[in-house]
Amino acid sequence: MMQVLDWFRVVLFGLAVRRAVTDYLRLTGLIMFILLMVAWTIDLAEHFPKLRAGAETRGVSLLSLLAPYLGYRSVDMITRLLPMACFFGVFLAEIFRRLRLESVILAAAGASPVYMLSAVLWLALILGSLQNMMEARWRPAAVLAQVDMGFGSYAARYRRTWLNTPQWFVDENTTMRAQIKRTDQPELRNILVFQGLQEAELQGVIAADHGYPTEVPMIWRLDDVRLWDTQDVGAEPTALDTMTIKVDLVPLQLSFFDIPEVNIPTDVLLTLAELTNAPNARTIQSALWRRYTAWLLPPAVALMAIIMANAGFLGRVPVISRHIALAATGYVSVVMIKVFWALGELAVLSVPLSIFAPILLILALSVIFARHRL
């Protein structure tokens, strides 16, 4: 029993595993920092003048706006780039370990691949947990904080105010056109409702200046109403101060209208997922599945990077052309993850398949290169 416990202690916490994990994390952090600097440079080239003008207008220091802005942008960028940084960081770290003969000495001493898998397990715990937290909590919070701050591309696209373009909403027997106020207390204005879509003729047309949600789900209050009965052609509209109408909308749908699901808090997504009439049900489901499985991405790409890095050697000699080809293959594999996600959202693949297929593809590539070593 003690021998088994000692074996697990060495495999999970031994010096070789700790050193490998440290190398992987150090190089992953370096690659992430480089990618982040590049992303910052591109982003600030567009938005820095607006930040500087905003600081002058508000009478505050530029740093008081620039620091939180870069912090919010960093969370979003790291969430997107972490799998890529993990691949190249682990790929380079494993090449350096092989050049220092660390992996060669371990193999010569009889160390099994379990040590490598233990390092990947630690990466799953550390980087996988980080990826999961950023996907599920920190990224949506950072994006909405940037919107409230009023600077950057997200603030322009997801501003919390009246949308200029009227939107159409359709349910089984009613269609409505209205302008939306996308805030925590959403409103409607310039409303036009057509009733009786499934009938041979329209049953009625309702126009209203404003609309507000009530405490009853799906029931909205309309103010300054004009009501036409299409069965009484030529009659004057009936004017009403207020009336209630059933519309298959909940306030949360309008509060986050036209905001991509990856940028919406998880608790809101879970509420929207319960709506049977949600037009973006697939993207909601895809965003939730991505959050549930986010912790799988870093260890999967790390395992592929370790195997590919070793496959680029001919004995103890690195073959540069092989390593370049393998790095390109890994890059394409990581990029393909987003392609599969898009296929799921477009209904080309089922959502679970679009989430797990790229991970299985990465693991399949790892097995192929591990068996054949080019």
pLDDT in tens, 195-232: 876 676 677 788 899 999 988 888 889 999 888 876 66
- What is the per-residue pLDDT for 136? 92
Q: Which of 26, 39, 23 is nearest to 81 (CA)?
A: 39
Domains and CATH numbers, the chain: 2-155+288-372 (no CATH), 173-257 (2.30.30)
Rg (CA), the chain: 27
Better-scored residue on pLDDT, 210 or 12: 210
Helix crossing, 297-311 with 351-372: angle to 10°? Answer: 20
Helix crossing, 351-372 with 281-292: angle to 10°? Answer: 40
DSSP code for 374: -
Residue 6 binned pLDDT confidence (cut-offs 50, 70, 90): very low
Give the integer Cα–Cα distance in Å for 359 and 353. Answer: 10
Segments of the chain assigned E as strands: 167-170, 174-181, 187-195, 204-213, 219-228, 238-246, 313-314, 317-318
Residue 104 binned pLDDT confidence (cut-offs 50, 70, 90): low
- What is the per-residue pLDDT for 240? 85
**What are the tens digits of pLDDT across the range 136-183?**
999 999 999 999 888 888 888 888 888 888 988 887 778 889 999 998
- What is the per-residue pLDDT for 164? 85
Q: Which of 111-115, 165-169, 352-356 has the highest mean pLDDT?
A: 352-356
How many CA atoms within 13 Å lie on the side-chain side of 7?
7
Share of the chain above pLDDT 90, in %: 39
- What is the per-residue pLDDT for 18? 80
- What is the per-residue pLDDT for 75? 94
Instruction: State whether residue 213 is helix, strand or coil.
Output: strand
Residue 116 binned pLDDT confidence (cut-offs 50, 70, 90): confident
Strand order in the sheet with 204-213: 167-170, 174-181, 187-195, 204-213, 219-228, 238-246
Q: Which of 89, 106, 104 is nearest to 23 (CA)?
A: 89
Better-scored residue on pLDDT, 277 or 139: 139
CB 82 within 8 A of CB 134: yes
- pLDDT, the chain, mean: 85
* Stretch 242-256: mean pLDDT: 86
* pTM, 2 dp: 0.85
Tokens found for residue 217: 């789900």
Q: Phi/psi zone of residue 60: left (φ > 0), alpha (ψ -120 to 50 degrees), beta?
A: beta
Output the CA–CA distances (angstroms, integers) from residue 353 to 134, 241, 345, 347, in the order listed: 23, 52, 11, 11
Residue 113 binned pLDDT confidence (cut-offs 50, 70, 90): low
Q: Which of 127, 149, 122, 137 is nearest to 50 (CA)?
A: 149
* Stretch 101-121: mean pLDDT: 70
Tokens found for residue 33: 């920092």
Give the integer Cα–Cα distance in Å for 137 and 30. Answer: 24
The shares of helix, strand and coil residues in the chain, as percent rounded to the nearest 5, are 65, 15, 20
Give the integer Cα–Cα distance in Å for 273 and 281. Answer: 7
Cβ neighbours of 242 (radius 10 Å): 12
Burial status of residue 9 (CB atoms within 10 A of its CB: 0-12, 13-18, 19 or more): exposed
Instruction: State whether residue 207 is helix, strand or coil.
Output: strand
Cβ neighbours of 92 (radius 10 Å): 20
pLDDT at 14 over 70: no
* Stretch 305-313: mean pLDDT: 89
